[in-house]
Amino acid sequence: MIIARTIVDLKEHLYALSEGGRRSIGYVPTMGYLHEGHASLMREAKSHNDITVLSIFVNPTQFGPNEDLDRYPRDEERDLKLADECGINIVFLPAVQEMYPRPSKTSVIVSGLTDRLCGASRPGHFDGVGLVVSKLFHLIKPDRAYFGMKDAQQVAVIQQMVDDLNIDTVIVPCPTVREPDGLALSSRNVYLSAEHRAQAVVLSQSLAQAKTWIEEEATTAGSLLSLVKDRIESVPDAVIDYVELLQYPSLDPLNEHELTHKLESPVLLAMAVKFGTTRLIDNSLYHPSGGV
């Protein structure tokens, strides 16, 4: 496994691995502190491409004031071990100065999709995501890029950016990976106290319950949201940032009086909830056929 810490090294190693003919590149962008969710993306990339690239970069432009940039968990040694076990060919591990040698004067803004959910709670977050992902796509030129559906809004935003800018990369959404009790894997789970870790399973439980509620004839979009919020707030320390039901991937809102069992296109039930100082996100995609 090759570790590249500079753009020059990255390009040289990509060129060397591609000698002898066109070889497909699969790419997994991460901010490190890798877990089984990331490993599932790496294995998926490995199974469908000749060359696999993993990036580990805690991107400062997607963190707002008073967010957890400085305390975001990092463990380079463990990350590299997991990447090696998954068969990654190149790990791109740049410093901030390497990615941003001077203040950026270019923005990549995907309007509409970014003014709700996490975009409303974290102004400017997706502008930073769009900038760094576009930079990484231009450097690596992947045929396919793999993103977890735990952040379904990010997947929709990146897909829109790729379509609008004619970036020649296929975005591959991958299922959310969960703990045995249902909690979605996240690097931020390490912040949870034992008590809050036990309470946080209410997110996946409410999403599972919502599937039953959606299929009930009298359930409207508005009443579904009320039921889900009540379920989450039954846990003592859960503080809701948002719970929303939106069309996917457009992220257009639904009419609150619309009957959920009559939905004709996929809808996303997404939530962000704080337990103590730790903010967790989760979601589920529901299809008209009743599938999830």
Among 174, 198, 225, residue at a domain's last position: 174
DSSP state of 184: B
Domain count, the chain: 2
The CA distances from residue 202 to 41, 194, 217, 240, 272, in Å, are 25, 14, 24, 12, 12
Annotation says 38 is catalytic: yes
State whether residue 49 is helix, strand or coil: coil
Residues 256 and 128 in one domain: no
Among 174, 203, 218, residue at a domain's last position: 174
pLDDT at 67: 82
Residues 157 and 250 in one domain: no
Q: What is the CATH number of the domain that holds 243?
A: 3.30.1300.10
pLDDT at 66: 77
pLDDT at 290: 58
Residues 261 and 133 in one domain: no
Is 291 contained in some domain? no
**CA–CA dist 261, 282 (Å, integer):** 22
Residues 15 and 154 in one domain: yes
Residues 151 and 41 in one domain: yes
Residues 63 and 25 in one domain: yes
pLDDT at 92: 98
Tens of pLDDT along the chain (292 residues) come to 999 999 999 999 999 998 767 789 999 999 999 999 999 999 999 999 999 999 999 999 999 887 878 888 999 999 999 999 999 999 999 999 999 999 989 989 999 999 999 999 999 999 999 999 999 999 999 999 999 999 999 999 999 999 999 999 999 999 999 999 999 999 999 999 999 999 999 999 999 999 999 999 999 999 999 999 999 999 999 999 999 999 999 999 999 999 998 888 899 999 999 999 999 999 999 987 655 6
Residues 154 and 71 in one domain: yes
Is 251 contained in some domain? yes
Please tell me which residue in 13, 38, 125, 196 is annotated as part of the active site.
Answer: 38
Residues 133 and 208 in one domain: no
Range of the domain at 222: 187-286
Among 131, 152, 174, residue at a domain's last position: 174
Residues 245 and 170 in one domain: no
What is the spatial order of strands in the sheet that 170-174 belongs to?
2-4, 90-92, 51-56, 25-30, 144-148, 170-174
Q: What is the CATH number of the domain that holds 80?
A: 3.40.50.620
Is 227 contained in some domain? yes
